[in-house]
Amino acid sequence: MKPDEIIHSLTLLIRLIDCSSGRQIREDNVILYAESGQELKICMREGLILLLNQSRQDTNYTIHVSGYEEGMVPVCYKKLNPELPIQTVYLIPKITGKNRYAYLCLEGKMPHMEYLEGIHLSYTINQLKQYDSETGIFTVFNPNKRFFNQDKYALINTKKQDYHKITMKEVLTPTTFTVWDPPDISFESGMIIAPVMFGRVDSEGQYAFYSKIDSKEQKYLMHFGCKGKQTFLQYDFQENKPFLL
């Protein structure tokens, strides 16, 4: 090492995803806080947040991004690639008077609701070709050469009545990948793969789910949990009907 060289060690890469669109957030106005409340020095590279020279201990960071609600960054390093640890964080847009007409909103209250998520049925990323249970490798068709840019995806059954969530472990090639804990289901060729989008649910059951208006169709397959029971239903935001759970 030369006398004037400074060597940095990579602690973590953080990728930000917009909950209302499933697309990566590329915003430079970002503040990251340690569990102690200390503001951490970060770098931005191609839409990713680089955290350098910190110890790799499991922790919870807090993140503030301009235009979004405060987010939590729970980090468990044994679930990340040690060579390139990437943590994906899903952020909910901050709805204000200036931007509220850019979103369709689903809001309400259901006591004991535990979570609310959904997939936009027009935002399909890929289709499953096959799954090798011995190697754990999923193969997709990928004729349009689309990339997997987040970690939570849904495998949708061919009738679009429900889905199984998968968490990406490693993208091996543009057409193959592995996941953490593959669901115990029968994998069918042609199953649709789409990004999962997340809503907000508080301790009293107040919920909110936002859809960015950037396509003609706003049809979703919604998924929520209540008292340990999970429910799937199709919902069209453009019909503007109450969400009858």
The residues facing 200 across adjacent strands are 208
pTM across the whole model: 0.79
Structure tokens at 156: 């949708």
Query: CB-based burial of residue 110 (10 Å sphere; 0-12 exposed, 13-18 middle, 19+ buried)?
Result: middle
Task: Give pLDDT tens digits for 170-194.
Answer: 999 999 999 999 988 888 898 999 9
What local confidence, expressed as pLDDT, does residue 21 receive?
Answer: 82
Task: Give pLDDT tens digits for 75-93.
Answer: 999 989 899 899 999 999 9
Dihedral angle, C-alpha 244, 222, 68, 98, nearest 10 °:
-50
Q: Which amino acid is at 155?
A: L
Task: Give pLDDT tens digits for 26-79.
Answer: 888 999 999 999 999 999 887 799 999 898 999 999 999 999 999 999 999 998
Q: Are strands 42-45 and 206-212 parallel, antiparallel or unpaired?
A: unpaired
CA distances from 168 to 20, 79, 176 (A): 20, 10, 11
Q: Which domains does the chain have, with CATH numbers?
A: 10-91 (2.60.40.10), 99-239 (no CATH)
